[in-house]
Chains A and B, each alone.
Chain A
Amino acid sequence: MNGKSRRAFARVAGLGCAGMSFAAVVLLAASTSAIAGATEWELDLDARLVTSNGEKSFFRGGFGTLRFDEQTSGLQWGRIRLALNQNLGEVWSLHLDASSFGNDEQNPLDLTEAYLQFRPYPFDGFRARLKAGAFYAPISLENRLAGWESPYTLSSSAINTWVGEELRTVGLEGQIDWLGTRTGHLFDLALTGAVFGWNDPAGVVVARNGFMLNDRQSTLFGRVAQYGGPPPAQAPEVFREIDGRPGAYAGLEARYLDRVVLRVLRYDNRGDPAVFDPSSHEFAWLTRFDSAGLRAESASGWSAVAQWLDGQTFVEPRGTRFGWGFRSKFLLVSKRTGQHTFSVRYDSFDVASRQARSDDGDQHGHAWTAAYIFEPGTRWRFTLEWLSVWSDSDNRSDFGGLQIGADELLREHKLEAALRYAVGSAVK
Chain B
Amino acid sequence: MRTYARTTAGKPGKCRSAGILTRSTSVGAARIFAAEWLARLLPAAMVALAVAALLAGGLEAALAAVPAASVSITVKGPDDHPVPGAVVTVRALGTDAKPAAPVRAIMDQINRAFEPDLLVIPVGSTVEFPNSDSVSHQIYSFSPARKFQLPLYRGNPNPPVHFDQAGVVTLGCNIHDEMVAYLVVTDAQYFGRTDATGTWTADIPRGKYRVSVWHPRMNEGAGELERELTVAEGDRATLTLHLAKPLRAAPLQPHPHSWDAY
Q: Do A and B associate with each other?
A: yes
Residues of A at the B interface (CB closer than 8 Å) are: 38, 40, 87, 89-91, 119, 121-125, 127, 136, 138, 140, 143-148, 151, 179, 181-184, 186, 257-259, 297, 299, 375, 378, 425-426, 428
**CB pair A182 B170 closer than 8 Å:** yes
Mark B residues whose CB is within 8 Å of A: 111-112, 134-136, 138, 140, 142, 149, 151-152, 170, 172, 174-175, 178, 180, 248-253, 256-262
Interface centre among B136, B151, B250, B262 (most CB of A within 10 A): B262
Select which of B142, B151, B174 is within 8 A of A124 by beta carbon: B142
Assess the B262–A140 pair: CB atoms within 8 A. Answer: yes
Find out whether the CB atom of A299 lies under 8 angstroms from the CB atom of B135.
no
Q: Indicate if the CB atoms of A146 and B261 lie closer than 8 Å.
A: yes
Measured between beta carbons, the chain B residues less than 8 angstroms from A40 are: 135
Cβ–Cβ < 8 Å partners of A87 in chain B: 136, 152, 175
Q: Are A182's CB and B180's CB within 8 A?
A: yes
14 inter-chain pairs at a CB distance below 8 angstroms, sorted by A residue, are A38-B152, A122-B172, A123-B142, A140-B262, A144-B261, A145-B262, A147-B261, A151-B256, A257-B251, A258-B252, A297-B252, A299-B250, A299-B252, A375-B256
Residue among B135, B138, B258 making CB contact with A146, cutoff 8 Å: B258
User: Which 8 residue pairs across A and B have the least CB separation, nearest first?
Assistant: A146-B261, A146-B258, A144-B262, A182-B170, A90-B152, A121-B140, A124-B142, A121-B149
Q: Are A143 and B142 in contact (CB under 8 A)?
A: no
Alpha-carbon separation in the docked complex, A184 to B249 (Å): 13
Q: What is the minimal beta-carbon distance from A401 to any residue of chain B, in angstroms? A: 38
**Chain B residues closer than 8 Å to A257, beta-carbon distance:** 248-249, 251
A425 in contact with B134 (CB, 8 Å): yes
Which chain A residues border B262 with CB–CB below 8 Å?
A: 136, 138, 140, 143-145, 148
Task: Count how many pairs of residues, one from A and one from B, have CB atoms less than 8 Å apart in the complex.
Answer: 75
A151 / chain B contacts, CB cutoff of 8 Å: 256, 259
B249 contacts which chain A residues (CB < 8 A)? 257, 259, 299
Q: A38-B152, A122-B172 are in contact. List 19 more A-B contacts (CB 8 A).
A: A90-B152, A122-B140, A122-B142, A123-B142, A144-B262, A145-B258, A145-B262, A146-B258, A148-B262, A151-B259, A179-B172, A181-B180, A182-B170, A184-B170, A257-B251, A259-B249, A299-B249, A299-B250, A425-B134
A89 to B174, CA, bound (A): 13
- Taking a contact as CB atoms under 8 Å apart, the answer to whether B261 and A121 are in contact is no
Check A186 against B248 for contact (C-beta < 8 Å): yes
Q: Which residue of B lies closest to A136 (CB)?
A: B262
Docked Cα-Cα span, A332 to B138, in Å, equals 35
Q: How far is the CA of A301 from the CA of B172 in the complex (A)?
A: 25
Q: Bound complex: CA of A428 vs CA of B258, how far in Å?
A: 9
A140–B174 Cα gap in the complex (Å)?
Answer: 23
CA distance A378 to B254 in the complex (A): 13
A residues near B180, Cβ cutoff 8 Å: 181-182
Q: Which of B142, B170, B174, B257 has the largest number of chain A CB atoms within 10 A?
A: B142
